[in-house]
């Protein structure tokens, strides 16, 4: 297919060379020489087109497209360099484009196949770092990325334990660390508040026999917000008051559950057959809410009711010791803490307090 245009191109180029030779002869008149040169130029143009057409057909496919541009380039190159252009294009096609590209051995990198691990990597059920380690990283790490990873690691921790780290991270000079701490704290708070809002909205439609359970769930969620230190100041007092209101609605502590301004905690010794005797855990939760609200007298009565209802005394003694401490009854604090025999308290705050009072 390419041979025919190549023959026409070579013939036209030979003709153009002969015409140029004739134009330089002395026996041709000057007026005829100009016409001979013009004919030679036209013959060279025709030769350039046919040669370019033949060379274009020899090109690999990736060099042919777009066809009009590549063909025009070959025509212009061969026309500008009458003989040398055709020979250069012929050499580039035959010796360069048609041969495979040589590859240097220096570009080859041999990578040995890694051996299979002898045992699978250990995946810890809990992170191998402690709250103190993360707190030290947030406090003293110089690299912002390390502090950012420490804040991210708190997603495996309880909000109460992570709050000390979030509080420090919210004062970080780097925006990413500070915003991540705010986002994680607000996310934990939003989950609880959304759950509380959903239960409060559904409360009027709950059957009467299940309404006490709904009140208990709302009070427990409100207490969780306070216990995990997700709220502070006036917001904390609001959720404490809300939790207290719902617990009083359960116990009927005040004659009207909608006005808990001056509640009274009933003593279950006066009502031995009351159903509250079987709800000792609720009394314990109510007592902790009252203690956090600084209502020490009512909190003591609530803990007494929890003890009478069957709650383990070891769970109540720390709160009774706290009430006695706030009321400046220090000998009783030592008595309560000395009676503690709960195992697994080594290293905990309660164990440190107990060891100090038992010196």
Q: How confident is the model at residue 106 (pLDDT cuts 50, 70, 90)?
A: low
* pLDDT at position 77: 76
Find the angle CA(303)-CA(306)-CA(308) to the nearest 5 degrees.
110
pLDDT at 47 over 70: yes
pLDDT at 272 over 50: no
Q: How confident is the model at residue 240 (pLDDT cuts 50, 70, 90)?
A: very high
* pLDDT at position 126: 58
User: Could you tell me what percent of the chain has a pLDDT over 70?
Assistant: 77
CA–CA separation, 163 and 224 (whole Å): 13
Helix (DSSP H) and strand (DSSP E) numbers for the chain: 16, 0
DSSP structure string for 144-204: HHHHHHHHHHGGGS-HHHHHHHHHHHTT-SSHHHHHHHHHHHHHHHHHHHHHHHHHHHHGG
pLDDT at 258 over 60: no
* pLDDT at position 198: 93
CA–CA separation, 154 and 162 (whole Å): 6
* pLDDT average, residue stretch 332-358: 77
Average pLDDT, the chain: 77
* pLDDT at position 261: 44
CA–CA separation, 258 and 274 (whole Å): 22
Cβ 231 vs Cβ 225: under 8 Å: yes
Report the candidate in 292, 283, 277 with the shortest Cα–Cα distance to residue 247.
283
Q: How confident is the model at residue 95 (pLDDT cuts 50, 70, 90)?
A: low
Helices 208-227 and 233-251, interaxial angle, to 10°? 150
* pLDDT at position 259: 39
- Other Cβ atoms less than 10 A from the Cβ of 27: the count is 5
* pLDDT average, residue stretch 238-256: 79
* pLDDT at position 270: 43
Cβ 289 vs Cβ 240: under 8 Å: yes
- Six-digit token string for 50: 């046919």
Most trustworthy range by pLDDT among 226-240, 243-257, 262-276: 226-240
Q: Is 213 helix (H, G, I), strand (E, B) or coil?
A: helix
* pLDDT average, residue stretch 156-172: 83
Cβ 144 vs Cβ 176: under 8 Å: yes
* pLDDT at position 27: 61
pLDDT at 309 over 50: yes
Q: Is 288 helix (H, G, I), strand (E, B) or coil?
A: helix
Question: How many Å is the Cα radius of gyration of the chain?
Answer: 46
pLDDT at 76 over 60: yes
* pLDDT at position 254: 39
* pLDDT at position 166: 87
* pLDDT at position 84: 74
- Other Cβ atoms less than 10 A from the Cβ of 352: the count is 12
- Six-digit token string for 349: 């705050």
CA–CA separation, 166 and 346 (whole Å): 25
pLDDT tens-place string over residues 140-149: 888 888 888 8
Q: How confident is the model at residue 155 (pLDDT cuts 50, 70, 90)?
A: confident
- Range with lowest mean pLDDT among 34-43, 191-200, 278-287, 315-324: 34-43
- Six-digit token string for 316: 């109540």
pLDDT at 256 over 50: no
CA–CA separation, 275 and 213 (whole Å): 13
pLDDT tens-place string over residues 275-308: 444 578 889 999 999 999 989 999 999 999 888 8
pLDDT at 189 over 80: yes
pLDDT at 94 over 80: no
Cβ 297 vs Cβ 329: under 8 Å: no
* pLDDT at position 29: 57
- Tracing tokens 């502090």 back to the chain, one arrives at 147
């Amino acid at each position: 297919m390419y041979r025919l245009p190549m023959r026409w191109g070579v013939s036209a180029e030979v003709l153009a060379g002969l015409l140029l030779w004739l134009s330089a002869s002395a026996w041709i008149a000057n007026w005829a020489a100009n016409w001979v040169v013009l004919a030679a130029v036209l013959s060279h143009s025709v030769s350039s087109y046919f040669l370019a057409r033949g060379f274009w057909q020899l090109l690999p496919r990736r060099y042919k497209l777009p066809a009009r541009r590549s063909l025009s380039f070959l025509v212009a190159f061969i026309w500008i360099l009458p003989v040398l252009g055709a020979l250069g294009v012929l050499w580039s096609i035959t010796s360069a484009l048609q041969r495979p590209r040589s590859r240097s051995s220096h570009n080859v990198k041999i990578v040995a196949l890694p051996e299979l691990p002898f045992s699978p990597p250990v995946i810890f059920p809990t992170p191998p770092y402690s709250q103190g380690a993360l707190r030290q990283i947030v406090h003293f790490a110089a690299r912002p990325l390390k502090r950012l990873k420490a804040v991210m690691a708190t997603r495996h921790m309880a909000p109460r334990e992570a709050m000390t780290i979030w509080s420090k991270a919210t004062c970080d000079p780097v925006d990413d660390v500070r915003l991540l701490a705010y986002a994680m704290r607000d996310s934990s708070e939003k989950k609880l508040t959304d759950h509380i809002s959903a239960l409060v909205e559904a409360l009027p439609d709950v059957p009467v026999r299940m309404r006490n359970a709904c009140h208990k769930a709302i009070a427990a969620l409100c207490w969780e917000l306070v216990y995990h230190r997700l709220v502070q100041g006036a917001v904390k007092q609001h959720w404490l008051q809300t939790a207290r209101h719902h617990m009083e609605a359960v116990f009927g502590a005040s004659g009207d559950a909608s006005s808990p301004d001056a509640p009274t905690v009933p003593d279950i010794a006066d009502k031995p057959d009351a159903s509250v005797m079987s709800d000792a855990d609720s009394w314990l939760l109510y007592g902790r809410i009252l203690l956090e609200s600084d209502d020490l007298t009512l909190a003591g009565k609530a803990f007494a009711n929890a003890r009478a209802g069957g709650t383990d005394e070891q769970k109540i003694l720390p709160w009774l010791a706290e009430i006695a401490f706030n009321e400046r009854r220090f000998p009783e604090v030592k008595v309560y803490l000395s009676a503690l025999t709960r195992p697994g308290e080594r290293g905990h705050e309660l164990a440190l307090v107990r060891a100090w009072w038992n010196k």
